[in-house]
Amino acid sequence: MDFSKLAVTEIRRNPTRTRIAVIASALAAMIVILLRIIPEGYPLGIAMPERTYTGGDIVVFPAQTPLSSAEHSTLVLRDWQGSDWQSQILYYFPDIMNTGYLCKEASTGWRAMIPKDVLAAISDIPNIKSAYSYRALPCLITTDKAVVPAILRALDEQPAYPLEPYMEQPASFFSESSVIDREAIIPKQTKGLGDLKTGSTLYITIPEPKVVEFVSPNGSTSLHIGTDWEKAVEYSFAIKGKYSIQIGEEIDYEAWANSPDPQPPMIPLYWNRPEVLISSALFETIVQEMGASIDPTYLESFSWAFPTYQITLTVDSMSQMRETARLAREALGSDYGVYAVPEALYSTSSKGHVVMPPDLHKLFSGLIIGFSALVVAGNIYIIVVQQKRKIGLFRVVGATSKDILQYVLTMVAYVSLIGTCAGGLVGNLLYLFSLLGSDMEFGTWVSQALSDFGVIAGLSIAVSLGIGFAIAYWASRLPCSEVLSRE
């Protein structure tokens, strides 16, 4: 019937209201599309020092901290019974040492990871380029002046992200004879090690590692790695170089207070974790020597990647990292915590629990779309109020409540559609610039842009129609005597 045409004409006759509603829809669509730029792709520059040091883009820990506010399972708070040397989890979630960690009741809990189990679970996930077991042992470094507690860590000879930019001297990374020469790279920032010279000898005492079976809180048996300092052995290494990883800087308020300079002096912040790096092959040799008493079946179960409490994944396409992390999280289930490194860095809340950006993304998107729908509906409401007389006239000439519903809903849909299309177009064109900062392929961008647009347009129109329906229903119940009462 003509009601759709009449609705469109009516909308056009109210340019101010229509513009406000269209702009609200357009802005909502545009913002929702542009929100994708922020969380979806992590350009290489973001959290690069952390990625280098972690050895990849996504970290997997053997305990889940609930990542999503959409998690509905019963959660329990457990004490974290790990040690700093086992993984880098304390760097990302320092509070778990004091507060413990939240996990599902049935979760196994903190334990040594069996790499082959993890790899089998994630083997079908696209975009995972490689996996790396973080292997370390606690140690004590003896210098002329002190005994410094440290961590002896195995580093791949060809790590995912090169360490060279962070070395004190160029080309001081491991040489081909790193095993024979027992090369070690030491952290420059660790207190007590700064004075050690490159080329000098490093004396390290390493405790004997032990594998212990224990009963997890959920009743299953799992493995833990213990250390026996009674059977510690001293090793000596040649210092090949020093590294120092600056992760940021902060204002030196004390110096600034005494400084006439309006610009605040800055203090560089370094990744201050006392990790002495040796090559994987050398670490393997030491573990074989130190762990001679360990049951080979245990070592076999670790696929000789012993000990492992953290696995780091690298991805092919950075722009798909969040999605890859999500898939890994799904595949590994509640016994593991999976975090994209930039997410983990920026999402730790003050209480030590993780607030998941995707949820916020959805929440923001929902709020924005809901708000725009309210603006659309509000403006349509005003138009309808102004048109009460006309609606009464429609009723007088024979329009049913269904016809009035159609009339009002057409207005809502028309405004939402125009706004969403305009905003979607502009948003996607701006989103095109995100290609410059990521490794996303154009084809992927197109499919993402189209699917985004479809979802946003559908949602936006559906929400607007949902709210608009209330107005339409009200309008359809207006008494038709309205038209005559105003004669």
Partner 1 sequence: MSKWIGPVISCHEISKFYPVGDGLFALRDVDIGVEEGWFVAIMGPSGSGKSTLLNILGGIDRPSHGEVILKGRKFSRLSEDDLAIMRRTEIGMVFQFFNLLPELTAVENIGFPMRLAGYKDKEISERVQYLMNSVGLSDRQNHYPSELSGGEQQRVAICRALATRPSVVLADEPTGNLDSARSKEIMELFAKFNKEEKQTFIVATHDPSFLEYADLVLKLKDGEVVERSDKHGTLV
Please say which residue, 204 or 404, places its beta carbon nearer to partner 1: 404
Does 73 contact partner 1 by CB under 8 A? no
Please say which residue, 147 or 396, places its beta carbon nearer to partner 1: 396
Smallest distance, partner 1 to C-beta of residue 382, A: 18
Smallest distance, partner 1 to C-beta of residue 11, A: 11
Does 231 contact partner 1 by CB under 8 A? no
Smallest distance, partner 1 to C-beta of residue 391, A: 11
Does 480 contact partner 1 by CB under 8 A? yes
Stretch binding partner 1 (CB under 8 A), from 135-143, 219-227, 300-308, 391-399: 391-399
Does 15 contact partner 1 by CB under 8 A? no
Neighbour-count burial of 401, counting CB atoms closer than 10 A to its CB (0-12 exposed, 13-18 middle, 19+ buried): middle
Stretch binding partner 1 (CB under 8 A), from 62-70, 72-80, 129-137, 399-407: 399-407
Of 27, 30, 21, 111, nearest to 64 by C-alpha is: 111
Does 400 contact partner 1 by CB under 8 A? yes
Does 396 contact partner 1 by CB under 8 A? yes
CA–CA distance, 466 with 443 (Å, rounded to integer): 34
Smallest distance, partner 1 to C-beta of residue 3, A: 9
Do 151 and 273 contact (CB within 8 A), yes or no? Answer: yes
CA–CA distance, 110 with 191 (Å, rounded to integer): 30
Please say which residue, 148 or 415, places its beta carbon nearer to partner 1: 415
CA 74 to chain centre: 23
With H, G, I as helix, E, B as strand and everything else as coil, classify residue 464.
Answer: helix
Does 399 contact partner 1 by CB under 8 A? yes
Stretch binding partner 1 (CB under 8 A), from 8-16, 53-61, 63-71, 175-183: 8-16
Stretch binding partner 1 (CB under 8 A), from 167-175, 333-341, 372-380, 477-485: 477-485
CA–CA distance, 257 with 280 (Å, rounded to integer): 47
CA–CA distance, 356 with 147 (Å, rounded to integer): 41
Do 20 and 379 contact (CB within 8 A), yes or no? Answer: yes
Does 63 contact partner 1 by CB under 8 A? no
| Interacting residue with partner 1 among 145, 398, 436, 443 (CB under 8 A) | 398
> Which tokens sit at 226?
């213990």
| Interacting residue with partner 1 among 63, 313, 463, 483 (CB under 8 A) | 483
Does 201 contact partner 1 by CB under 8 A? no
CA–CA distance, 483 with 394 (Å, rounded to integer): 9
Does 335 contact partner 1 by CB under 8 A? no
Does 219 contact partner 1 by CB under 8 A? no
Sequence-distant (≥ 6) Cβ neighbours of residue 186 within 8 angstroms: 193, 196, 202, 239, 241, 242, 243, 276, 277
| Interacting residue with partner 1 among 19, 129, 351, 402 (CB under 8 A) | 402
Smallest distance, partner 1 to C-beta of residue 410, A: 14
Does 386 contact partner 1 by CB under 8 A? no
CA atoms in the 13 A half-sphere facing the CB of 223: 21
Does 13 contact partner 1 by CB under 8 A? yes
Of 459, 449, 447, nearest to 420 by C-alpha is: 459
Stretch binding partner 1 (CB under 8 A), from 129-137, 314-322, 467-475, 478-486: 478-486
CA 359 to chain centre: 11
Task: Give the total residue count for the chain.
Answer: 487
Smallest distance, partner 1 to C-beta of residue 429, A: 34
CA–CA distance, 117 with 222 (Å, rounded to integer): 13
Does 351 contact partner 1 by CB under 8 A? no
Smallest distance, partner 1 to C-beta of residue 471, A: 18
> Which tokens sit at 53?
């040091």
Does 9 contact partner 1 by CB under 8 A? yes
Please say which residue, 445 or 473, places its beta carbon nearer to partner 1: 473
Of 46, 43, 122, 57, nearest to 314 by C-alpha is: 57
> Which tokens sit at 396?
């007088």
**Max CA distance (Å), the chain:** 104
The beta strands (E) that lie in 161-305 are given as 183-187, 201-215, 221-243, 246-251, 266-270, 275-279
| Interacting residue with partner 1 among 79, 157, 403, 439 (CB under 8 A) | 403
Residues that bind partner 1 (CB under 8 A): 1-2, 6, 9-10, 13, 389-390, 393, 395-403, 479-481, 483-484, 487
